[in-house]
């Protein structure tokens, strides 16, 4: 039996990176997966899963629009009969812009996707999970929501909001059997972080990527997917209201000078 055998799941941002890796991991462990993304690449993820013998369906949606969230939750109900776990992973970075040059519109869009998206996911799956007295909600936050200098300002603020959202939702759902947790990835090679990696490689500094954490390297989407899999599973039945850094130890330390 797989670790998610028989579980009905949703993963947003499933078209690439952490979302794709998590969708594949969920399916490999026996879950039926509804893969959601704003791009058509989500169907490539589904194809990978199906070719590997897993069960998945895909659809495009904007996670920051309530009608679209209703639509993807409804699709999971229609196709799978319910939802046992959701990984609200979709997000955008917005890129680095000096704070004096940031616009209200940029902030609104980043908050809409990164913070309203997880809120809406929680809002629309909670009634189902409360009725069945069990369920796991996982959201992607970031180390940027814990400490400064790990991401652009509006992105960091949105991820700090996700951590607060998860903590408050877990307590609001006291005694219902529904768990809510967050993952705080460190530097992971994904489409979102591609400019960082491309720039370092162009300068010949690839070996320095991730040097600020004690594991001395950057991370991979599959390593975040492993945490998402655990939190979605019954193995994490006593884990609730937490925000877990998966960052090679980055947030364990104050700034330091490498001694080499």
Q: What are phi and psi of 113, to 5 degrees?
A: -80, -50
Query: 195 in a domain, yes or no?
Result: no
Residue 208: helix, strand or coil by DSSP? Answer: helix
Measure the CA–CA gap between 95 and 92, rounded to whole angstroms. Answer: 9
- Of the two residues 199 and 170, the one the predictor is more confident about is 170
Predicted local confidence at residue 1, as pLDDT: 65
DSSP 219: B
For 72-105, the pLDDT digits (tens) are: 999 999 999 999 999 999 999 988 899 999 999 9
Give the pLDDT confidence of 101-134 residue by residue, as tens digits: 999 999 999 999 999 999 999 999 999 999 999 9
Has residue 173 been placed in a domain?
yes
Residue 200 reports pLDDT greater than 90: no
Q: Is residue 113 part of a domain?
A: yes
- pLDDT tens for 235-260 read 999 999 999 999 999 999 987 777 66
> Which residues constitute the domain of residue 98?
8-189+222-242
Quote the DSSP letter at residue 241.
Answer: S
Is 251 part of a structural domain of the chain?
no
Beta strands in 127-228 (DSSP E): 135-140, 178-185
3 part of a folded domain: no
At CA 119, angle to CA 113 and CA 124, rounded to 5? 115
> What pTM does this model have?
0.94
Residue 50 maps to a domain? yes
What's the pLDDT score for residue 11?
A: 98
For residues 191 and 17, is the Cβ–Cβ distance under 8 A? yes
Query: Could you tell me if residue 201 is inside a domain?
Result: no
CATH classification at residue 238: 3.40.50.720
Number of domains in the chain: 1
Active site residues: 155
> What pLDDT, on a 0 to 100 scale, did the predictor assign at position 66?
98
When comparing pLDDT for 147 and 194, which is higher?
147
- Quote the tokens at residue 104: 């209200």
């Amino acid at each position: 039996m797989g670790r998610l055998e028989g579980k009905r799941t949703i993963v947003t941002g499933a078209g690439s990176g952490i979302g794709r890796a998590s969708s594949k991991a969920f399916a490999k462990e026996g879950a039926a997966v509804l893969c959601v993304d704003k791009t058509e690449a989500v169907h490539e993820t589904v194809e990978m899963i199906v070719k590997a013998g897993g069960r998945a369906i895909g659809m495009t949606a904007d996670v920051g629009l309530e009608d679209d969230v209703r639509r993807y939750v409804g699709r999971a109900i229609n196709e799978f009969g319910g939802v046992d776990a959701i990984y609200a992973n979709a997000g955008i970075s917005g890129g680095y812009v000096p704070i004096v040059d940031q616009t209200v519109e940029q902030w609104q869009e980043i908050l809409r996707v990164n913070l309203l998206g997880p809120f809406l996911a929680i809002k629309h799956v909670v009634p189902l999970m409360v009725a069945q007295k069990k369920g796991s909600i996982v959201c992607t936050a970031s180390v940027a929501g814990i400490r400064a200098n790990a991401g652009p300002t509006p992105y960091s603020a949105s991820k700090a909001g996700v951590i607060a959202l998860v903590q408050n939702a877990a307590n609001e759902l006291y005694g219902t059997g529904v768990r809510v947790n967050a993952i705080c990835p460190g530097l992971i090679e994904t489409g979102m972080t591609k400019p960082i990696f491309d720039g370092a490689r162009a300068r010949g500094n690839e070996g320095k990527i991730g040097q600020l954490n004690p594991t001395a390297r950057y991370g991979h989407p599959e390593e975040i997917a492993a945490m998402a899999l655990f939190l979605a599973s019954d193995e994490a039945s006593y884990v609730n209201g937490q925000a877990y850094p998966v960052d090679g130890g980055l947030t364990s330390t104050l700034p330091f000078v490498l001694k080499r």
